[in-house]
Chain A
């Protein structure tokens, strides 16, 4: 079975600073990988996903993530954070074959200081 670890419960950055949110996964083969953002009281919005191919994935809202097989990681990055990026971020992993059931990390809460 797959698993996901988001080691940081909270991350605080200043507006305009760069951001990296960490995600490590455990899965026997190359998985499908996802990053979501959730604002308070809202559903989950898909930022980006990786299925195969180029390991650097571009998403919406200026986010990108890089799949590193050797490190079993899929870290989310943004070069310059805006105050509106303050939210909860979830990483998820799903098996690349068979029954498609994703497993989610516990989430990282992003706080943005003006």
Chain B
């Protein structure tokens, strides 16, 4: 069966520190992968999506970047976190199956 794993579940990071969130998918090949951010009380904002290894499309210019080093691995990164990067980050594959999310608090 197809499953998606996302970690960590929660993260508290100081302003200016780096970030790396990882998402992996099992049971499927060449999936479309997505990173979303959900601010408190709001809907989902698409940040990045990828249709293959090394292929990243950015929807919103910001302090974050994404990489896809392997077919079923999608990483969200930042070199220096801002307070405004706080939120709930969700990975998805094939557009409609989501991971359990990472709650990021930047302090």
- Which residues in A have some Cβ–Cβ distance to B below 8 Å? 34, 36, 41-46, 49, 90, 92, 94, 99-102, 104-107
| 3 closest Cβ pairs, A-B complex | A43-B100, A44-B98, A106-B43
Classify chain B: how many residues form its interface, as a range.
Answer: 20 to 34
Cβ-Cβ contact count across A and B, 8 Å cutoff:
43
Can you report 12 residue pairs joining A to B where beta carbons are below 8 Å apart? Answer: A41-B101, A43-B100, A43-B101, A44-B98, A45-B98, A90-B44, A94-B95, A100-B32, A100-B95, A101-B34, A102-B95, A106-B42
- A107 and chain B: residue at smallest CB distance: B43
0 or 1 for each of B29-46: is its CB under 8 Å from A? (1 = yes): 000101000000011101
* Chain A interface helix/strand/loop/mixed: loop
Interface string of B1-28 (1 = CB under 8 A from A): 0000010000000000000000000000
Contacts of A49 in B (CB 8 A): 96
Q: Please give the distance in Å from A16's CB to the nearest CB on chain B.
A: 28
